[in-house]
Structure 1
Amino acid sequence: MTENMAERHDLARDAVLDAAMVHVPFDGWSQETMRRAIADSGVEPALADALFPRGPVDLALAFHYRGDRMLAEWLPELQGGMTARITQAVWHRLELVDGQKEAVRRGATLFALPNHAADGSRAIWNTADTIWTGLGDSADDYNWYTKRATLSAVHSSTVLYWLGDTSPDHSATREFLDRRIADVMWVEKTKARLRQTPLARAFDIGPGRLLSRVRPPVPRAMPGRFNR
């Protein structure tokens, strides 16, 4: 695909997605929304079908991944310690969709369905990976996975809390997020202390040596690889 064609496809994808946002709060991520979005955007139906081969689910994923790309562009602006930056990153990801809460709610419902659960999990994982990568994570072993798994859990639980939050400026969600991050940091500090114990050193000689051979995937998206 040439650069001009790729750019044209990106513009068409965004046009359909932008047009869909008017309809999602009423019709959800549905075929009806898809049909109306294509008509409103002026994008050729054949091109729209090629850009969103699975229809509404691909449209919902495009909405999520566009937010992740916007987050990635913003992350280099962050300053401060790692804990503060992670908290700010998760919070900013919510701010990016603050006026589109119903679209997020409808997406959560869609990806809760068994046939789309894997897509939803990959989307949340991508958000966690976007944050860690953007913050310069250098993990090159099994910690690459545990960091993203932990942050995926924090992000997803925070989103669900945010969806039901009616407090001014979502202050309750911010407090919830701060507690979740504090819990994670406590676990990490506890793990660091445990690594100094004789039991941990014995673990490093046995199972730990095996785990040390686990490497991030190439390209860096699940599943991973194992170094012999």
Structure 2
Amino acid sequence: MTSLDTATPDFADMTLDELRVALAPEIAASAVFDGWNETALVAAAEMAGADVDVAKLAFPSGMSQSMDMIEAWVTHVDQAMEEAWPQDRLAELKIRERIRTLVAFRLEAVEHVDEAVRRALSVMAMPHNAPRSLQLGWRSADIMWRLAGDTATDYNHYTKRAILAGIYSATLAVFVNDDSEGKTKTHEFLGRRIDGVMKFEKAKAQFLNNDRELPSLTRFLGRLRYPSR
């Protein structure tokens, strides 16, 4: 299991943004029992040794409180992933293994609090949270592709991220219902999805390459029919 635990931080010297991310793992641990709400926030602050009133300032009450907590947790996992798997460490792997490794890291990082993941997915699925949830999925997918070395700036930049965000979302849905040893079914599902995408990308690349060749072939046939004078 991948651990995201670090040395006890000095909460008093943190900005509110830093505090949100620092408290996120403890909030997730409390959310297993209490859900993503102020009860979990208070329990997390007390457990971590942070000032409860300051923690409430970081996550003010209201409709967005739960999503604020979930976003902080996603950010925490994003940062841990970037630290554990920088580009130079991933460079030795094939592209599909880079993506599989990054998604697997995220799953292993939250495996011990999978009930918090289940509760988070329920919150994110609420209609008023959908835009923000999509944004979070896109952001994590973008970080994964950048770590994997992707430098695309054309439409491939967007399709790759949209597809990976979809794979990650679908994998999480399997993850929260997987009672197999070591989440074996989840990792098998992830492997199949990534293999399918790689086959699609290969076919797409061949099609686009062929498509780029068509104009020159058309010009050649045109010259045969209408020779230049």
TM over 0.5: yes
Count of residues paired in the alignment? 199
- State the distance in 1 between where 2:162 and 2:12 align: 32
Of 138, 144, 165, which residue of structure 1 is paired with 2:178?
165
Whose radius of gyration is greater, 1 or 2? 2
Partner of 1:179: 192
Q: Describe the superposition over 1:177-206 as per-residue Cα deviations: whole angstroms up to 9, x where unpaired.
A: 11101110111111112113358856xxxx
Aligned-residue RMSD, C-alpha: 2.5
Q: In structure 2, do the counterparts of structure 1 residues 136 and 93 end up closer, same or farther at CA, with 3 Å as the change threshold?
A: same
Letter in 1 for 2:31: V
Corresponding residue for 1:130? 143
Which residue of 41, 48, 53 corresponds with 1:34? 41
Question: Paired residue for 2:67, among 57, 70, 75?
Answer: 57
- Residues 126-135 or 42-51, more deviating: 42-51
Q: Percent identity?
A: 34
Task: Look up the match of 2:95.
Answer: 82
Shift in CA distance, 154/6, structure 1 to aligned 2, threshold 3 Å: farther
- From 4, 8, 11, the counterpart of 2:14: 8
Matched letter for residue 63 of structure 1: W
1:114 counterpart residue number: 127
Deviates more, 1:9-18 or 1:111-120: 9-18
CA contact (8 A) 2:25 2:73 kept: no
- Which residue of structure 2 aligns with residue 225 of structure 1? none
Q: Give the match for residue 168 of structure 2.
A: 155
1-side partners of 2:151 and 2:163: how far apart? 16
Q: Take 2:196 and 2:137, find their aligned partners in 1: how far apart are those partners?
A: 20
Q: What's the counterpart of residue 23 of structure 1?
A: 30
1:8 alignment partner AA: M
> 1:101, 1:156 → 2: CA distance?
14
Change (3 A) 1:201 1:31: farther
Q: Per-residue deviation at 1:116?
A: 1.1
The aligned amino acid for 1:187 is F
In structure 2, distance between residues paired with 1:7 and 1:192: 51
Instruction: Give the Cα–Cα distance (whole angstroms) in 2 for the partners of residues 81 and 163 of structure 1.
Output: 28
Tell me the SS of whatever aligns to 2:85.
helix
What secondary structure is seen at the aligned counterpart in 2 of 1:195? helix
In structure 1, C-alpha distance between the alignment counterparts of 2:94 and 2:109, rounded to whole Å: 22
TM-score (norm 1): 0.77
Residue of 60, 75, 82 corresponding to 1:72: 82
Q: Does 1:192 align with 2:205?
A: yes
- 1:88 deviation in Å? 1.2
Q: Secondary structure at the match of 1:197?
A: helix
Amino acid of the residue matched to residue 108 of structure 2?
Answer: E
Matched residue, 1:97: 110
The answer as to whether partners of 1:34 and 1:55 remain within 8 angstroms in 2 is: no
Tell me the distance in 2 between the aligned counterparts of 1:164 and 1:110.
17
Alignment deviations for residues 25-81 of structure 1 (CA, whole Å, 9 cap, x no partner): 121102322343345545445532432244232112111110011111122222311
| Distance of aligned partners of 1:93 and 1:15 in 2 relative to their CA distance in 1, 3 Å threshold | closer
Aligned AA (1:48) = A
Work out the CA distance in 1 between the residues paired with 2:104 and 2:197: 16
Name the stretch that deviates more: 150-159 or 18-27.
Answer: 18-27
